[in-house]
């Protein structure tokens, strides 16, 4: 039972970009999203448990697409009550441009989150194994 009290929570560890195996060390080299060309740079392995991070080949591209589409449609929750949508005027186009802006601004975070979701799907908690995720 004592190990359950020390177990870090899954959701906060996922959103703070912690190691999927030990949930203590950070996964990305840079804490900042800028510069964008180094936004997705992973550490080779976790400093705490030694889990390999960089051998992943998928990069979570499919998950990124799904998150982008979900965010695009979730924009309806704030846009429709404030501005309204109608097929009789150009409000649908304004919604599309506003949603596109939100998705573009959120894209660096969504790319990191999709990579983390991919790692969390394929690396179990507490396994601390050193295998490739190819």
pTM: 0.79
For 72-108, how does the pLDDT look when each residue is reduced to its tens digit (9 = 90+)? 999 999 999 999 998 889 999 999 999 999 999 999 9
Give the three-state DSSP class for 52.
Answer: strand
- pLDDT at position 132 is 45
Residue 129 CB partners (closer than 8 Å, separation 6+) = 21, 51
- DSSP lists the bridge partners of residue 42 as 28
Instruction: Please give the pLDDT value at position 5.
Output: 55
In the chain, which stretches have pLDDT less than 70?
Answer: 1-5, 55-59, 124-134
Residue 56 is predicted with a pLDDT of 53
pLDDT of residue 100: 95
pLDDT of residue 1: 43
50: left (phi over 0), alpha (psi -120 to 50) or beta: left
**Residue at token pair 């194994």:** 129
The residue ranges of every structural domain in the chain are 2-122
């Amino acid at each position: 039972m004592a190990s359950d009290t020390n177990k870090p929570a899954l959701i906060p560890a996922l959103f703070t970009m912690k190691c999927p195996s030990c949930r203590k060390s950070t996964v990305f080299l840079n804490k900042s999203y800028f510069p964008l060309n180094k936004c997705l740079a992973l550490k080779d392995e976790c400093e705490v448990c030694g889990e390999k991070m960089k051998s992943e080949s998928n990069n979570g591209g499919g998950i990124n697409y799904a998150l982008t589409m979900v965010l695009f449609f979730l924009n309806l929750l704030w846009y429709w009550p404030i501005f309204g949508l109608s097929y009789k005027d150009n409000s649908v186009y304004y919604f599309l441009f506003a949603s596109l802006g939100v998705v573009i601004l959120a894209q660096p975070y969504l790319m990191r989150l999709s990579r983390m979701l991919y790692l969390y799907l394929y690396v179990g908690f507490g396994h601390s194994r050193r295998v490739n995720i190819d």
